[in-house]
Chains A and B, each alone.
Chain A
Amino acid sequence: MNAKVVMKRPDSLSKIDFTYCPGCHHGIVHRLIAEVIDELGIREKTVIVAPVGCSVFAYTFFEIDGTVASHGRAPAVATGMKRARPDRIIFTYQGDGDLAAIGTTEIVHAANRGENITVIFINNAVYGMTGGQMAPTTLIGQRTTTTIHGRDPKAAGYPIRICEMLSQLEGPTYIERVAVDTPQHVMKAKKAIKKAFENQINGLGFSLIEVLSTCPTNWGLPPVEAIKWLQENMMKFYPLGVYKDKTREEAKEGIV
């Protein structure tokens, strides 16, 4: 990261130090979210629902109200919150094990209802917190502590592409996959996150931003090589881009 960005701490980040490993992308994404909350002026009405995973402490890292959901259930918790107080801004922050394995039901149905919430989805192709086991997003052939010879689809199925899958539903408003591996991608990721919050503020419905992220620790790679691995492997299977954008479709229809 370049030094200019790191200097000013966003108001929406608390004074508590991150607990993430060196080179882990969780921290970068936290910062982007905090900047977006600051820029949108919504700190005093935003509530985070943290997951179970390495980002379980996320609810303490932001200077906003927050809680931790049980593993995978953050979209249901956020639904309860949003239905109870529709004028608050609610976002979940979830890993790939949390969102795409144990919490598949909750994310599919929250998306399908078009819940007016924002979901930040960290795909690092592995269960970080529990020590690098296979995640639903683990690539074919990728070694993890529960697939030591590499993921074999015959035994362990195929990696799930969440953006592609959820964009098949009528319910969601905005779905985009981003990465934070380069400064340009970081800018793009921030723009996407911002739009995902703006959608909620404007009552437009469900937005999900998937962020391809590194887990140097469990991938067994130094941070720089981890980024390279992400670019050469993950990005091929998980192409970046906008998978669904009802706001744009509607705008187009309006022009026609």
Chain B
Amino acid sequence: MRRTAAIVGVGYSGFRSISPDLSYKEMMYEAAAKAYEDAGVDPQRDIESFVSVAEDFNEGTSIFDEYVPDQIGGALKPVHTIPGDGIHGLIAAYMQLLTGAMDIVMVEAHSKASNALTLSDVMAYAMEPIYNRPLGANPHFIAGMEMNRYLHSTGTTEEQCAQVVVKNRGNGFLNPSAAHGARVDLEMVLSSETVFYPLKKLEISSHADGAVVMVLASGEVAEELTSLPIWIRGVGWCNETPSLETRDWEGATYARKSAEMAYGMAGIRHPWQEIDFAEIDDTYAYKELQHMEALNLCRKGEAGHLVQEGATELDGAFPVNPSGGTLGVGHLLDASGLGRALEVVLQLRGEAGERQLGEVETGLAFGWRGVPTTSGAAVVLSV
């Protein structure tokens, strides 16, 4: 029988458009100190392994893992860094617990997006260098192309996509740690500049700085540490082929496969019935709808209607991105997915303040690595 594991502590610093008062190390320290306090653990005495998530180009430092241990209490301990989404890091930590070799493991991810002064260039360097990059187009066009195909194949409307922005930035308004919460109306979104047809300016999330840390523990240890462990019921992750020339432009296959794996592990057959809410990547507004369908939270072409009818609002039948999502909280680079998982934990613990959902027992978090990738990771969490 598979070992069980739970999230027993969370901490975060941020999220803010800029953070000139703190170094990235101090931001990581703040998040880690809060998470350890929350879990009631001492990193040096109790935590057996440390997983961090970082991308050298985002940090401006090669072999970034070298600069990780001190501020998370991991000096002289097993530490490693992976490039990926924060949920990939969460899964890496979880797998260490599943081996039986570890009982308490932590995961950290952060964003100092404000310090990467040529972030749009860094994004462009994710493009295939020989036959894609020389064309010189801003890589957001990939989202424009995908949105175009998604609308074409599902009948989803531009208004429905814009409604995601209204909802998520509105939810962010109720979240004190969201950097980009705002009351915007449909007209403001629809009349904002079309920057990568059919994608509009307000449909693209803005970056934020911040750090997220979680402490994970194996089943029995988790129950000793807290009266409210948040159980990891299923994880899944998937990369499609990177090729822009041949990929699936309609259905976010990476999300579908990630979810199938996670649901299979969690024993979930009817996700829209067995899951109460979701925090899923909305780096671009249409992505929330496309991801909802790929994650089997509704049928193909249905997500747009659900958002329009208010079904994914805080008081709707299936709330999506109660935190405000990436549009409301801010895009946290490699920490974005962990930010989604953080909200699932807070909601399940009943600690989400003004945006708290009633009676939630199971939530889904899904992260995507952004353009041009087809890289996603999902986790199903339950009280």
The finding on whether chains A and B are genuine partners in a shared complex, rather than unrelated, reads no
The chain A residues found within 8 Å of chain B, CB to CB, are: none
Which B residues contact A (CB, under 8 angstroms)? none
